[in-house]
Structure 1
């Protein structure tokens, strides 16, 4: 009787520890990295815009796991810390910039000036840009042309 009473609490503790370690151990760690750089358009720093790093595929062609990481471009520069940065590995890169059109639309009783994407689609919606993000600090500079 004594051995059964001692074993039961021990078995419960052992089961609890196994469950806890199983939950913590099964979570996949996705490595992210810091990245900074410059973006020029037709030879000049891109005044303002955004840059988006989207996990692509690994060397075996399997999709990389992770979330997209976005930064604001100001005066041709951008920066992301490792905590907010892109997934380590190959990433597609989308760069967007808009400018006012001089046309307005009404929304909730207010006139709002319409903005339009002016960078070619090959840099954003149909991007041909990519960057292989390495662990640690990265520099990724992009030179864009109107053509």
Structure 2
């Protein structure tokens, strides 16, 4: 085999390895990509089917219910326009309370109830994730716009 052919073989092998590496990296990135949605977007069906995503909003007052096992908690998140029921099994953050901001990560079950694998609460009264604040502002603007004659 000529040196020129060997060089082409090595270049071809390097390109193939690079393509495989890029495919693996992009696949891992896609698997770990988590979208943020509002309760309105969830209610309208604008969520990825069978994939984890995050939903954020305010915990409706009086909606927190603890099961007899002490670990399972049900609550409702709202963006002031629509609400979504959430079920979570595990310990909740200390700052998780009625009327406060929260973000839940998980997926929808067959009945449309959101099953959370993780719940995050805002860390002080002045902070809200920018995506959640923007979503609440959009929802309020949409509600105000739709109620005007």
TM range (shorter): 0.3 to 0.5
Higher normalized helix content (fraction of residues): 2
- TM-score when scaled to structure 2? 0.33
RCO higher in structure (CA 8 A, sep ≥6): 1
**Larger Rg: 1 or 2?**
1
Higher normalized strand content (fraction of residues): 1
